[in-house]
Amino acid sequence: MANPKETSPPPAFPPIDKCTSMGRQNDTVVTDMEGTLLCGRSSFPYFALVAFEAGGILRLVFLLLASPMAAILYYFISESAGIQVLIFATFVGMRVSDIESVARAVLPKFYSSDLHPETWRVISSCGKRCVLTENPRIMVEVFLKDFVGVDMVIGTEIGVYNGRATGWAKSPGILVGQSKADALKRAFGDDKTVPDIGLGDRKTDYPFMKLCKESYMVPPKSRVEPVNGDKLPKPIVFHDGRLVQKPTPFISFLVILWIPVELTDELVPVAMANRMSMFHGTTARGWKGMDPFYFFMNPSPAYEVTFLNKLPYDLTCRAGKSSLDVANYIQRMIAASLSYECTSFTRKDKYRALAGNDGTVEEKPKLARKKGFHLQGVLSNEECDHLINLARDKLEKSMVADNDSGKSIERSENKLWHVSWQSSLAWLAVDTDLKGLSVL
């Protein structure tokens, strides 16, 4: 047991609050991401966002099942091994275009809400900014360059095959520890000017921090107020994605549990009626895009929503009813509450009666484009004569356009002959001087 009078050894680098932000316009800063640039030290939520938004609920389940093994490897054996598990569970088999789409439309909102205030104070005062992270570069680069104003992003590169991620990191592997320092050397050059400021939050950041002229640690704090989004160089205006909260392991677990609550046989039908006094908000003949316009043109448009009684258990699919029977029963309930009468007419019947068609748009047939090619110097004079003799009864002189009248006239020379085939899409030209063959 340690002596209580003994004090812990001093940190290798001073805390970040000792770093001045004045007169740094010409300085270059290099910072780690999780726990340094971001308040949160865990990258799981951002992998979970990619897994859910690009891969769906099953991908999120796979990632959550793999997270305990990733945590054990990360904290007790190897950081790089733990991150590799997260990368594999999130990215394996996923289209690269889907990953890029999530990184562009979903992740910036969550990254921007977690910026560390002290780190932002330092990097925003420096003229050149570089972020060094163990996370895949494809996840973070859009946010860092477009919204934080970072000049260089150095991150783990993922393997790609046929447009899909393999789930493995490309050489030199996960950027952790000494590999971070090596990546920084390659980016700045061994003999070039070293970065002025290095920022990190853990011991595995020491190797790259030692390469900088001055380095500072971002101490772990349980509660830090993130930077307001309006202080970013570029505000985040557009955002996509289904999840509202950052999916920590616990939130991800709740999301997975909640969806089968949603997909249940406990059905509560809802009847909705729209009230109009001047214009109908729908049409079968006009432009469908104008329906909302005409609905809101009414003096007092309104929707009436009625929640009906819960469907009895013996009328659900779990009780043995088919999905069609359940749907028809619910439709009759809604119709009765709205004073409608159910019929056997379909949507196609409606369009045939009102618009003279069944509501489908036929695709126009695509005409095959004529293709041609010319092979030059492949035929001898004898071979050209032989081809002409074979098609003697179908041989015609090649035609050209008259410069004055624009009409087609025969060539004045006898070097190019035209052979008509049975197909209207092909013809053969034999040039006896160039010994060439043209086919269209």
Q: Which residue has the higher pLDDT, 365 or 106?
A: 106
Top-confidence range, 122-131, 319-328, 338-347: 122-131
Residues in Cβ contact with 211 at an 8 Å cutoff, skipping those fewer than 6 apart: 181, 184, 185, 194, 195, 198
In the prediction, which pLDDT does 411 show? 56
The whole-angstrom separation of Cα 54 and Cα 57 is 9
Percent of the chain with pLDDT over 90: 35
> For 384, which DSSP code?
H
In the prediction, which pLDDT does 415 show? 46
In the prediction, which pLDDT does 341 show? 79
Is the bond into 108 cis (omega within 30 degrees of 0)?
no
The whole-angstrom separation of Cα 262 and Cα 285 is 37
CA 225 to chain centre: 30
Give the pair of three-digit tokens for residue 235.
Answer: 């505000």
Q: Are 138 and 100 in contact (CB under 8 A)?
A: yes
Whether pLDDT at 426 is above 80:
no
Q: Are 166 and 158 in contact (CB under 8 A)?
A: yes
Q: What is the pLDDT of residues 398-425, one digit of tens each?
A: 666 666 665 666 655 454 444 444 433 3
The pairing of strands 164-169 and 158-161 is antiparallel
Confidence band, pLDDT 50/70/90 cuts, at residue 122 = very high
Longest distance between any two alpha carbons in the chain, whole Å = 113
The whole-angstrom separation of Cα 346 and Cα 343 is 8
How is 388-422 classified by DSSP, letter by letter? HHHTGGGEEEPEEE-TTT--EEE-SSSSEEEEE-S
Residues in Cβ contact with 268 at an 8 Å cutoff, skipping those fewer than 6 apart: 307, 308, 309, 310, 311
DSSP E strands in 146-282: the ranges are 152-156, 158-161, 164-169, 197-200, 214-217, 270-275
The whole-angstrom separation of Cα 372 and Cα 431 is 15
Confidence band, pLDDT 50/70/90 cuts, at residue 355 = low
Confidence band, pLDDT 50/70/90 cuts, at residue 241 = confident
Rg (CA), the chain: 35
Lowest-pLDDT choice from 105-109, 183-187, 238-242: 238-242
The whole-angstrom separation of Cα 173 and Cα 14 is 30
Phi, psi torsion values for 307, nearest 5 degrees: -90, 120
Whether pLDDT at 89 is above 90:
yes
Task: Specify the domain boundaries for CATH 3.40.50.1000 within the chain.
Answer: 16-254
At the topology level of CATH, where does 16-254 sit? Rossmann fold (3.40.50)
Give the pair of three-digit tokens for residue 383.
Answer: 């071979």
Strands in 395-397's sheet, in edge-to-edge order, are 373-375, 436-439, 427-431, 416-420, 395-397
Could you give the C-alpha distances from 386 to 267, 378, 379, 391, 397, in angstroms and in order?
Answer: 81, 14, 10, 9, 17
Residue 209 amino acid letter: M
The pairing of strands 164-169 and 197-200 is unpaired
Residue 192 amino acid letter: K
Partner residues linked to 352 by β-bridges: none
Q: What is the 3-state secondary structure (H, E, C) of 149-189?
A: CCCEEEEECEEEECCEEEEEECCCCCCCCHHHHHHHHHHHC
Q: What is the 3-state secondary structure (H, E, C) of 20-55?
A: CCCCCCCCEEEECCECCCECCCCCHHHHHHHHHHHH
Give the pair of three-digit tokens for residue 158.
Answer: 């993922």
In the prediction, which pLDDT does 392 show? 67
CA atoms within 13 A on the CB side of 286: 10
Helix%, strand%, coil% for the chain, nearest 5: 40, 20, 45
How much is the average pLDDT of 35-45?
91
What predicted TM-score, i.e. pTM, was given to this entire model?
A: 0.65
Whether pLDDT at 437 is above 60:
no
State the average pLDDT for the chain.
Answer: 81
How much is the average pLDDT of 118-133?
92
Give the pair of three-digit tokens for residue 111.
Answer: 């990254």
